[in-house]
Each structure stands twice: as structure tokens, then as C-alpha cells.
A and B are shown apart, each in its own frame.
Chain A
Amino acid sequence: MAEAVESPGDPGTASPRPLMRDLKAVGKKFMHVLYPRKSNTLLRDWDLWGPLILCVTLALMLQRGSADSEKDGGPQFAEVFVIVWFGAVTITLNSKLLGGNISFFQSLCVLGYCILPLTVAMLICRLVLLAEPGPVNFMVRLFVVIVMFAWSIVASTAFLADSQPPNRKALAVYPVFLFYFVISWMILTFTPQ
């Protein structure tokens, strides 16, 4: 999955692909999501490690702790996984069918990395939920989730909208909106028991 530009040469050479190089590439992409500007990094050197890390983190945070160890958050964990990956694949197929010139994995990469603001929102919500429940608590969480949702949308459309023909941009962006909306909804309605 990690796909930086390979240096041409004998594939049998002993110098191993440094792990650090891949980790740095992932970190760089996180930065690009946080400060979205027109650049090709997310698109050209795609990798799916970031989305995997974010998905697992989000799924872990979205579990409800329960006293019964038999149903200890298992279904919710798998649910988040399925929603994120199935949703991302569906959006990618949709944009390809609309005639976009972005490749399958590039689109998955962008959508996955742009979950980062929502993961941060989840973290903040969990911290806020440690305080006493009430309308103020809810308003704070609502505000945070809305801001991060908007951030995700802006970041992903900055990368994805260019790949669509001009008259189809709204059609391609609308499922992205829905996708992040569903995730934001899951985050907002989360209550630990």
C-alpha cells in the first residue's frame, strides 16, 4: 500500500525500503489534510496506511463499554469499519462512473485521510463527555462536530473536485457530504454507558 516513488535499480539490492520513509509520508499527508492547499501529495503518492490507522482509532473510540463481556463493543467496531470502507468504495465508484479521472486507490486515500478532522472531533467529544452531562455539554460537542465536519468536506473537495468535469462537481461531492455526515452523526450521538 505504501507507494512512494521507487528508485529504479536492481530489485535484489540489500538496502531495505526504510520504514521511516513510509511513516514520514503518512505524517506529511496528515499535515496536508489539516492545512488543505492545492498540492499533489495526497493524490500522487497515495497510500492507505493513514485511513487504516484513522479507521481503527475511530472504531476503538466509538465503542460502548459494557459490563457484559460477551457483547463488548464487537458489533460497533465492525460497524464503523464497514461504514467507512464500504462508504469510501461506493463514493469512489460513483465518481468513476460520473467520468472522473482519478484512480480508485487515490480516491480511497483522499477520503480516508480526510476523516482525520472527525477523528479529532471524536477525541474532543470523549473528553467533553467526561464532564457533567447537560445541554451545555451537548452544544459544545455539536459545535466541535460541525466545525470538523466542515473541515473534512473542505479538505476532501479541495482534492477531489478537480478530477471531475465542471458540470458534474455537485453530483460527485454530494455523496462525500453524506459520508462524512453519517460519521459525524455517529460521533455526535455517541454516549458511553
Chain B
Amino acid sequence: MDVDEFRAKLHVLAVDDDRVSLMLIEKQLRHCRYNVTTVMHAETALEMLRARRDADQFDLVITDVHMPGMDGFKFLELIGLEMDIPVIMLSANDTLETMMKGIKHGALNYLVKPVGLEQLKNLWIHVVAKHMDGPSNSINNYSDDGHHQPRSGDSEDENVANHTSMSSRKKKKEDGTREDKEAKRQRIQWSGQLHRLFVEVVHQLGIDKAVPKKIVEMMNVEGLTRDHVASHLQKYRLFLKKVSTGAYRRCNPFTDETVWSEGNSINTHGLGTFGHNLEHGIYHSSISFAGSSNSSDRFARMNSAAAIGTHSMLPTHSVQLMNQRNLSIPLKDMGSVGYGTPSNSSANIRNGSPLLAASMEATNYPYRSYASLCMSDPYPSDGNRRRINRLSRLAASSGQNSEFQNQTAALTRTTTQMAGITEQMAPFNIGSNTNSIVMTNYNSVPGDASSVISDLPSIQMYRDVMESQIVSGGDGSGSLLGHQAAADQLNYNNESLIGTSSGQNGHSDDLDDFFSDCLNQDVFKNGDAFMDGDCEFAPFFLTFLFDKGN
């Protein structure tokens, strides 16, 4: 097969709001023998991509940068979050900032108009390269296009040769569940369920003892190979490392920096999940936003509202998605991970906050660091910084629940708009009805850790915010005082559970070991910035949201 034939197998999606430009690029691509589909709006493109998630997915997306409605960057982010397809940006804009922005948002390449045919002719390279980012990940898509028999003499399919027959056999076994189907494909898609299982297993084994071979055995998922697990484990470690050290470097002077919790089994077990929830549950925590009256609930609510504030900012900035895979954790599945029966909120707080704390190192500017962690950008842009500050002020200073909720809700809506998930967020942060339902679930359904999870980060966050407000003489209004008592109580709870401030290296806690292990790992993948790896897990959040809506 020559290059032309190979290109003929590739299906490209071209997006541009300008009909003329779109037509141009389509002509050019067709000239290069690609199969082209054109779309004028990013939203439509996303729908198409989502619709083809399981079959016949596009191989490459080429998108304009400058578009009304959803712009190229947002589109890029969403693609990276939801489906791991290579994206090329295209624009007449050749300024450094824009180009950098494109790459940071996950574009594999940035082409400046006018685009030459030669440049387009070689775009297939990105498609192939994208699928080679794991030790055993192979290009099964191309094998799907009809070359099910291994062709050893074929240079492009060489990597696939070993796996083609295997993957074609596997593909033929149509399985009901998506996860199994994904698992059987050579290119493993880490669904939420799969990832949760992975994390459970890892923590059962103990992070430092978790070797891919054992993990694979314990996970016992058909089609999952040691290599899949190995690469995923590497990313996971990166992620945790980021969580533990990440943007907290320029942290605050507060004493209470510890968050290593005691309670080994639960914590370590829950940590991974929690850590993920943390990142991913950002959105999720916005859920526990109740509207009723008793103090602990109210407190939790405030927390969640605060959490929303933080959380809602997260998706906006460039989650680096370069090596994204589809990481979706169905929220309901989070259920039984390491939590006992959460019978009441305080119990949960106790269980939860250490976890949260542990994974976050309980900085006192959780919003900032948290947000920047998830933004995978240690230097949030001014816009984001302002947003962060504003949200944290808002979160801490609101006196009225409803007012707070409204504000934060509004804020949430505004900020999360950027991630394009407004419609999903909306139900979560509106009014007490939803919230009280959530709270009810939370209380009455022991196994439903989703609500638990959602409360936990918020509580810790809130505490931290409180502290920061207090110490910084913050922007909090007098209403702050009203919460202080509650905050103090919570602080007490937290502190009594939190171990000594033990830094990050080699301490008795499994958790500490875990983190130090992470720290010692040199797990940079293909030389990408450190941030990249972790943020692969960030998308769990969004999908929490998506799935929670079910």
C-alpha cells in the first residue's frame, strides 16, 4: 500500500465556520485522497464524533481556530476529553500566542493558512503517531478498514501486524457492554468503570507493590494486557504526583499543611479513587448543594457551593489533553469504593476529608492550587486567576445559602460554559430541590458514594477557604463569622483525623509511601510537560457530570 492508499482509509472531519474556507480545505483534503466530512459548527462536529464513538470514528479532525459559538480551543479540549482523536488546528492567525495556545490545548499540529497540499498530505502521520503512545498500543483502526490479515511486508501496518488478527477476532465477538468491547480492542479505552477497577486493584495491592502484571491478573478483564496497565499505571502515578506536589509549590504560609491522613486502608484505598474524584469530581461536588436548614447540612451545602465555585473553573483552562484517552467514570459506579456506610454527614466528613485532604495536601488556597492543578498550568492566566480569586471570595463570603447558590450557580454556569457542559451543570446547582434530593440520597443510600464524594472535597475546601479568609482577613463579609463556628468544628474534625504534617517522603503512612513513590518516579511521557500526564485523569470529572445526569 502506498501513502495515497493509506490516506484513502482515513476519515477526516473538517470544521470551519466560514463556508469558503471550509470548501477550500475540503477540496485540498480530497485532492490528497482523504475521506472528508465537513461541518460548520463545532457543536455539530462534537455530536458527530460522539455518535461514532463506538464505530467508524473519525481518524483526524481539522478545525479552524477562530469560530463564533464554540471556538477552536474549546472544541479541542472537548475532543481530547471525550474521545482521543488527533486534532489539527488551522488558522490565518500566525501569532505565537495563538499557536502556543493551540498546542497547549492539545492540538497535534497548528497549520497556518494558506495551507499547502504538502502539509495536508502528511497529516496521516499524526494519526499514526497518536496511536503509538503506549508500549503495546497499536493502530487497530487502520486494520479495521479491511486489512484484517496481518501483512508483514507492509510498512505502515507493521506495528499492527501482530495485533491485527487478534483485534479482528476480538472485534467479531460483539459484546454487550461497552467496557468489554473496549477492553477487547487493542487500543484500550479506559472507561470509568475500568479505571475504577484499576484504582481499586492498585490500592489493594498497595501502590508501591502494584506491578502491572499483578494488576492485570487481579483486574481480570478480558483483553487487558500488561502493557495497557503499565502505561495506565504510569499515567496514574504522574497524576498522583501532580496532585501531591503540583501547583502547590507556591503555596501559602499556613501551618496546617498536612493532610496525610491516618486510617491506612480506607485512605489508601479511597485515595486513588478520591484523587480522581477530586480532579474529576470537581464538577461532581457541585452536586451536593442542598437547600434545607439544619446546620451540618447547611454547612455541607456551603461547602459544596464553595466547591462549585472552585470546581467550575477547572475545565475552562487548558487541560492538557494530548494523550488523552477516554476516561469516563460513570458516577454511580463509584459507589462502593472504600467507604463504609455513610450514615450521616459527619461520619462522611470524617472518612472523607482526610482523603480529600490527603490528596490535596490541604493547602489553604485550595482553589487556586486546585484549579491550577487541574488546569495543568502552574501559572494560570490572569483571567483565570481573577476568576479563581473571585470564586473563592464568593464562596467564602456569601451569607445566604440561596444567594450564594445563585451566585455560584451563575458563576458556575458562566465559567463552565467554557467547557461546554453548561447544560449538564445546570441541574446540579440550581435550587434546593435538586440538592435536597441529593442530600437525601446521600443519607439514605449507603452505597452511593457519589454523594459522599461530592461532599467531601467541598467540606475540606470550605474549611480551607474559611481559613484563608480568616487569616487573610479576607473578603469575607460578616457572614463569615456565622460560619466560623461550624468551620471550627469541622476543622477540629479534620485535624483530629489528619496525621502530623509529615511532608512527603518516607513516612509511616501508606499514603506517604505512595506519594513518595510517585515523587521518585520518573514518569515523564514522551518528554511532555509534567502536567500533561495528570490531566489525562482530569476528564473523569466531566464525565462524572455527564453520567450523573442519568
A and B form one complex: no
